[in-house]
Amino acid sequence: MGSIYYQIAASNIKKNYRFYIPRILTETGLLGCFFILYTLAVDEKLKNCYGGNYLPEIMILGLIVMSILALILMVYTNSFLMKQRKSEFGLYHCLGMEKRHVGRVLFHESFISSIISVAAGSLFGLVMYKACALLVCKLIHSEAVTGFYYIKPQTVFPPIAVFLGIDLITFIINRISISLMKPVDLISSGHKGEREPKVKWPLLIAGVICMGAGYAISISIKSPLSAIELFFVAVLLVIFGTYFLFVSGSIFILKLLKRNERFYYTAKHMPSVSGLLYRMKQNAVGLGSITILATCILVMLSTTVSLYAGMQKTIDMEYTQQCRIELDNIQESGEIYTIPFDVVTDLSYKAADEADLEIRDMINQRYLQVTAVRSGDDIRFEAPGSEADKTGEPVGLLLIGVSNYNALMGQDISLAEDEVAYCPIVFTNDDTDTIKIHGEDYKIKLTIDTFPVSSSFIGIIPVKALVMNDDTLLRINDIQKEVYGFYASSFSNIAAIDFKDRGEAMDKGYAFSDRLEDLIIEYTESQNAVVNPDLDTAWSTRDGIFGLYGTFLFLGMILGIIFIFATALIIYYKQISEGYEDKFRFGIMEKIGMSPSEVKRTIRSQILLVFFLPLIIAGIHVIAASPILLKLLRLLLLADNRLYVICAVIVYIVFAVVYALIYSGTSKTYYNIVK
């Protein structure tokens, strides 16, 4: 008997190749991509490359997203197959096969398609992993890792086990579904009559509220920190709103058109509106899914491409001087040891000479960077955890004494104790003549264009950059120490180095910084001090950013491909569904007097609207999400908002072309069916 079930199953797969080939290709592609992400996550050789330390965490995040998507896609594919074949299973039952026998046929079908998919997917992953690993090395600017060391049971079997588990889940769902249905239900499942859809008012109202709330959060958000907290809330609201409005909002609009007698009762509009009513009833959830997938593709690729493309500008913005050396160092004993600036200068020139680099200038930066909270027009220091600290808006103060400012900038300005010079850097937007700090008013004597030091707060919270009287700066430092205690900020005492040739410094930087660290250690040991030199360099940050952004870009590319594949699959299956239903509609329309050309034009207009509506809505979603996305990108130090806009437009155009090609390719299946 087992061979009979196998023969029936193999015959069924062959006859229903239109349904099974996409299902097998889907699992093959998903398993291959899952293998790639999983192997990248556990690849020790890549992890030890420059920038490769970000790979495990980011790839694991991708695996979680992909596992959820794979389960949803396989269940969706399975439900489509079952919907198309329930009549066939019912016929088997009527011909004498019991439900357990039908279940065995179904098991053999699932087993055959699963084995083919797993074998092809594993082979695809093994073949493509090397190319993907080389691409990752290219993106993170690391040397290529050679060899095929990754082909081992620890990397091959876990992805196979995950997808065999998903296949088992889909089989169990099918088996339960068949066991619960009566033969007459199975036979008639594809031929049930449909009533005209009604507007589901609760869903319509909920959809408007969810969509409005999601858009409002994105548009109204001010702080990047608030963006982190509310981003996923906004995402969930938009997802629910999209589904609710597709299910009920589309029906509501079509009903309004139908009630307009002058519009509806025409040969052009009546068939289209009537047909769309039933199409939207059947396809609302699927179209909502396509919209969400398209939005994910656009958001992921726009953000990751803009971050990667803007890396150099980010580094240039953060490092006006390519190397910064902390002069105040904490010893193992906990005491502060300050390396004299002139000593660090001599050692830096010596290290630069050995590395064949030329220093343009060295400056000694001494400044205070401290957080506060805005309460009305007053910027105050509040005890951590207090009510005022929790409710106030975070603000960063970047303060430098006037004497140090004059030395750094070659200026000769003077400031009284109640006067400041103000530099409008980021997120300030003040039009007042005074600034109040902890209850005291300071008059803005002048506004300066350039500030000699940068703040690590930029992109995270609003920053006030001020030059003030030296005594005033010391007094403010005492206030924040008294309020914050253990959490108080300390003065940064930095030796900043600017090289004559920035490009050459980036190429030879490690030779310089490694040698300078050795020289500083030798000097401090001669002074009976034990310190660990603290160097902040543009080249080390560059490698870290390349590793982070390059890994994000690769993950965005992989997930983007998967989402595009998922979109193509849903569109393909919808084309098949539309084809079988429209074949019946063609006959009815021709019987009521419409010519074949009129029928084809009517159906075509409906199909175009149904399938391209998600692309339009996804574009609207991305526009609405841009404000909150830009806040989040500031946390990742995106230096240019215009770059994101340019990347988003290019990604949308490219995706629209791909989407049109997917529609064009799958529509051939549709027209073959309706003919």
Measuring CA to CA, how many Å separate 518 from each of 350, 359, 511, 541?
A: 12, 19, 11, 20
Query: Is this structure's pTM higher than 0.85?
Result: no
Residue 426: CB atoms within 10 Å: 16
Give kind and range of the element (H or E) at residue 443. strand 440-447
Calculate Rg over the CA atoms of the chain. Answer: 32
pLDDT at 280: 60
Which residue ranges make up each domain of the chain? 1-193, 194-315+537-675, 317-536
Listed residue (51, 124, 46) closest to 544, CA to CA: 51
Give kind and range of the element (H or E) at residue 163. helix 153-180
Residues 6+ apart with CB under 8 A from 32: 121, 122, 124, 125, 128
Q: How far apart are CA 470 and CA 482, in angstroms?
A: 19
pLDDT at 653: 94
Measuring CA to CA, how many Å separate 89 from each of 105, 173, 179, 341, 577?
A: 9, 15, 11, 85, 19
Measuring CA to CA, how many Å separate 532 from each of 60, 269, 352, 517?
A: 33, 78, 20, 8
pLDDT at 590: 59
Long-range contacts formed by 8-13: CB under 8 A, 24+ apart = 8/105, 8/108, 9/105, 9/106, 9/108, 9/109, 9/111, 9/112, 10/108, 10/112, 12/85, 12/88, 12/105, 12/109, 13/109, 13/112, 13/113
pLDDT at 193: 46
10-residue mean pLDDT profile of the chain (675 residues): values are 73 81 86 90 80 80 84 81 70 68 81 91 89 84 74 88 91 81 58 58 88 92 74 89 82 69 59 60 72 88 88 77 86 79 93 93 89 85 80 85 87 91 65 82 87 70 87 92 87 90 90 93 88 87 83 86 81 72 62 61 65 87 92 76 91 91 76 65
DSSP 265: S
pLDDT at 94: 67
Strands (DSSP E) found in 342-392? 359-375, 378-380
Q: What is the dihedral of CA 583, 265, 284, 83, to 10 degrees?
A: -30
